[in-house]
Structure 1
Amino acid sequence: MELKTYRVKKSRRVSAVLLAAVITGCFSALLADTLKVITEHYEESFLEKLHHNPYLIFIIPLFGLTIIHVLRYFLFHNKANKGIKEVLDTINKNAHTLPAYKIPSHYFNGFLTVIFGGSTGIEVSTVVSTAAIGALSSRKVDYLRRYRTALVCGGLAAGVTALFNAPVAGFLFAFEVFTRKKSKLHHAVVATAVLTSFLVTHFFFYHQIFHFAVTDWQLDALPYIVLLGILAGLNSVYLTKSVLFFKKFFAALPNDHTRILGGSLLISTLIFFVPHLYGEGYAGIKNVFTYAQAPSPAIVFSVLALLLLKPVATSVTLGAGGDGGVFAPSLFIGAFLGMLVCSILNHFFGLGLIPVNFVLIGMAAVLSGSIHAPFTSIFLVCALADNYVLFIPIVIASLVSKWVASAIFADSVYTYQVKQAG
């Protein structure tokens, strides 16, 4: 009789946790999808205004960073958002670093950062907000507290799923970056949140971010795919070290006003001369094939400028108080790196490589090296391509990039921050 009672209680507890995962997944999808839609709309609107008056760029980032500072001071406890570190502390250190106000804080700060020109994306803002939804659900019911880690991971995985319509990538992201817990219930909670998010997004918000026509890949291109993976690893390290350097640099400045003024001026100047640095950079990725022609000195110089300056613009944005991370910048850098490598090899060696393939492989490889999560990157980019034709070359390049990046610099932006904090 006691055994039967125990099993009934356990069954009810599991059902309650899975119901909490469904609720977490649903709210996470709504948050991620609405943030994606409104950010895309207003970013396009501001870009259109800049086409007519490019000098507005010297006002827009200053305005955005100022609003973020004012909101933080008056509404969000005057505490700076620390991005992924907040989630890692909640999971690994059992810290209460994801209070309810982190949901609107990251939501609005991520939105304001990107639409006003900050050279980053909304992915990390979304991840922290949706992780906070999972943490909040675990605090509302006493017996759910022991499942806080699972619900936090479910929330952040649901957020990634909604942003990219990539459920496998969302699931893997939770385990590659945050926790490798092996309990069946933990896996079930994350999977339930991901599935719920995927269904909500698919039926109410889905639209393809990019339209890549991928049909085939060449076996004899493998050596050049490995080369792209090596170069992607080097670019990943450059991005990571840029972020760490500029965060430290801006943290050493005497006050917030200096950070905002100096940071916005740097961002404005960079975007004025290289407009593709504005915001997430997805508009730039959509136009990457305009660089598929023979690599003239002007084209090579333009692409190299993007590869060198995008990490700087991203790092300055984050250091000056913007909200975001390295997801979108990594995809941007990878797309242009892949196009440059393909164009040069085709022009000088007549290899006949397929540009769209190298663009997608480059996106996955740089993201893999930047966040040290190759399998997340593989399935995320396959979801962006809306097929798995390039699965094998993407796996090869992503693993090579991760290995190169780790060999040069053992930490990602996430793990380095955690070590410094400890």
Structure 2
Amino acid sequence: MNNTARIKKNIRLIKLQKLVIVSVLIGFLSAFLGLTLKKLTEYYEEIFFSQASLHPLYIFIFPVFGLSVIYFLRQYVFNKKENKGISEVLESTGSRSKNLPKSKIASHFINGLLTVVFGGSTGIEVSTVVATATIGSVAQRKQNIFKQYKTELICAGVAAGITALFNSPFAGMFFAMEVISRKVTRTFLITNIIAVSIAFGLIFLIDEKPLFAVNITTWHLRAIPYFILLGIIAGINSVYLTRCVLFFKNNLSQIKSHYYKILIGSVILSCSLFFFPQLFGEGYHALKMIFMNPNEVKLSSSLLYTFIGIILLKPIVTSATLFSGGDGGVFAPSVFIGAFLGLFVALLLNTYLKANIIPVNFMVLGMAALLSASIHAPFTAIFLICGLTNDYTLFLPIVLVCIISKYTAKLIYPHSVYSYAASVAK
């Protein structure tokens, strides 16, 4: 081997070593940030929701207070930088010159936390994605040899953050691939596998439990036509969610005053929470309650009213939260709506068609189907929901409903919230 070849080989080895080291650091920092935000949000959301349940007046105070604090933080602490969600990550990966500023780590962490604990009807997932993407973005700017791997290192941060939130390294990998990168290179595989491995190791170390305790026993082939029906309904409902978000974003953008935006968003949010407290924050507290014994739930007029109200209002209050300055996206709302939609469909089929299907299965399938259709990422939805429940019994039905729901949604409306934002940015 001549000297030139030896030098080239040594340079490649040095690059690989540095990529491994930076991937380990990105994986640990992103997972730690994601877990910290998750734990803080769960803790304070429970406290604030309990207070709002005991004292209904707080339902009208919390949203306007939380959104106002977020506005003043953004104006006077975070240099008036607007939080655009995942679209700013896509803008960064699609451009050599645009980078995510360091302030995005703190701004999305704090604003995401404040949005949810004060009742904003969204989730911390998108806040985590942008904050962890910024960790990857900052890392790639530290040395010249990393600049060509900008997208891969950003994706490593995102993948580790999603892994930490949902206990699923596959969900982290697929989300980074389907939504952020949309391509797979050898460097992508190296950096992202290392990052999610570190994240999963941290989850294992602290013995993080699945978010939902679900008892799934089996599923039956005779239920496949009903699975297909659920996939189609979820696809239609996801378009409703997407169009609600885009309507508030595009049609109400002429309102320039931030105070009016906060007021409008707070009124919509507070009035909705007063009648349907399940819409408070991420809504996972409501899902945990209903997951306790969904197979024993019987359809009644009051329950029918609750299901219809939640399914119709959640997209509106999510859109109002984001429009008025809240931090978040459609990730958690999709999971929330999907669970209630799945249970609603199951109860209707059992009550009026005597279908004899298993409601808990339809809750899990609904979560996966609506998430897949909302973000146009079926593989992310498949492994994310399996990670949330720590159960792969429904793996094949989940694959089926995720694919059907995604293509139903794309047939009706070609964009997700993320792809629409990316197309506008171009």
Q: 2:83 aligns with which of 71, 81, 84?
A: 81
**Deviates most, 65-74 or 246-255:** 246-255
Q: Per-residue deviation at 1:421?
A: 2.4
Partner AA of 1:322 in structure 2 = G
Tell me what 1:268 maps to. 270
RMSD, aligned α-carbons = 1.2
1:251, distance to aligned residue in structure 2 (A)? 2.1
1:353 to 348, 351, 357: 357
Are the structure 2 counterparts of residues 354 and 182 from structure 1 closer, same or farther at C-alpha, using a change threshold of 3 Å? Answer: same
1:372 aligns with 2:384: no
The aligned counterpart of 1:326 is 330
- Please give the alpha-carbon distance, in whole angstroms, between the structure 1 residues aligned to 2:276 and 2:185: 48
Residue by residue over 1:72-104, the C-alpha shift from the partner in whole angstroms, topping out at 9 and shown as x without a partner, is: 111111021000011101111334241100000
Q: Which amino acid aligns with 1:214?
A: I
SS at match of 1:59: helix
Q: How is 1:137-156 mapped onto 2 (pairs within 5 angstroms)?
A: 137-156=139-158
SS state at 1:287 partner: helix
Moved more, 400-409 or 281-290: 281-290
TM-score scaled to structure 1, two decimals?
0.98
Verify the 8 A CA contact 1:32 1:163 in the aligned structure 2: yes
Comparing 357-366 and 245-254, the one that deviates more: 245-254
Moved more, 104-113 or 174-183: 174-183
Cα distance in 2 for partners of 1:224, 1:147 equals 45
Q: Deviations over 1:146-181 (max 9, x none)?
A: 111110000011110000011001001111111133
Aligned to 2:288: 286
What is the aligned partner in structure 2 of residue 299 from structure 1?
Answer: 303
Aligned partner of 1:362 in structure 2 is 366
Shift of 1:198: 1.0
Q: Which residue of 2 aligns with 1:259?
A: 261
Look up the equivalent residue of 2:226 and give its one-letter code.
Y
Whole-angstrom distance in 2 between the partners of 1:341 and 1:379: 23
Kept in 2, the 8 Å contact 1:43–1:279? The answer is yes
Is residue 341 of structure 2 the alignment partner of residue 337 of structure 1? Answer: yes
SS in 1 for 2:356: coil
Unaligned runs of 5+ in 2: none
Which among 400, 403, 412 is matched to residue 404 of structure 2?
Answer: 400
Q: CA deviation digits over 1:218-246, x for unaligned, max 9?
A: 11100000000000001100000000001
CA contact (8 A) 1:86 1:97 kept: no
User: Which residue number in structure 1 is paired with residue 65 of structure 2?
Assistant: 63
Q: Using the aligned pairs only, state the percent identity.
A: 46
Q: Distance in 1 between matches of 2:97 and 2:69?
A: 29
Question: 1:194 is matched with which residue: 182, 193, 196?
Answer: 196
Query: What's the secondary structure of 1:187's corresponding residue?
Result: helix
The yes-or-no answer on 1:313 pairing with 2:317 is yes
Q: Name the CA distance, whole Å, in 2 between partners of 1:320 and 1:97.
A: 25
Match of 1:92 in 2: 94
Deviation of the 1:257 alpha carbon: 0.8
Stretches (4+) displaced over 4 A: 289-292
Name which of structure 1's ranges 277-286 and 197-206 shifts more when overlaid on structure 2.
197-206
Using the size of structure 2 for normalisation, the TM-score is: 0.97
Partner of 1:43: 45
C-alpha contact (below 8 Å) 2:35/2:164 kept by paired residues: yes
CA contact (8 A) 1:288 1:339 kept: no
Partner Cα separation in structure 1 for residue 180 and residue 98 of structure 2: 16
Matched residues in 2 for 1:94 and 1:57: separation? Answer: 45
Q: 1:135 to 1:2 in 2, by over 3 A?
A: same
* Distance in 2 between residues matched to 1:184 and 1:410, nearest whole Å: 30
- Cα distance change, pair 205–262 in 1 and its aligned pair in 2 (3 A): farther
Q: Which runs of 5+ in 1 are unaligned?
A: none
Conservation of the 8 A alpha-carbon contact between 2:210 and 2:387? no
Q: What's 2:239 paired with?
A: 237
Q: How do 1:63-212 and structure 2 match up within 5 A?
A: 63-204=65-206, 206-212=208-214
Between the aligned partners of 2:204 and 2:397, the Cα distance in structure 1 is: 28
Give the whole-Å Cα distance in 2 for the aligned partners of 1:419 and 1:324. 20
Tell me, in whole angstroms, the C-alpha distance in 2 between the residues paired with 1:267 and 1:179.
34
2:168 and 2:384 in contact (8 A); partners too = yes
Return the alpha-carbon distance in structure 2 between the equivalents of residues 180 and 57 of structure 1. 41
Say whether the 8 Å CA contact 2:91–2:425 is kept in structure 1.
no
Aligned residue in 1 for 2:392: 388
**1:3-61 deviation line (CA, Å, top 9, x unaligned):** 12211110111110111011000000110000000000000000111121011111100
Moved more, 242-251 or 66-75: 242-251
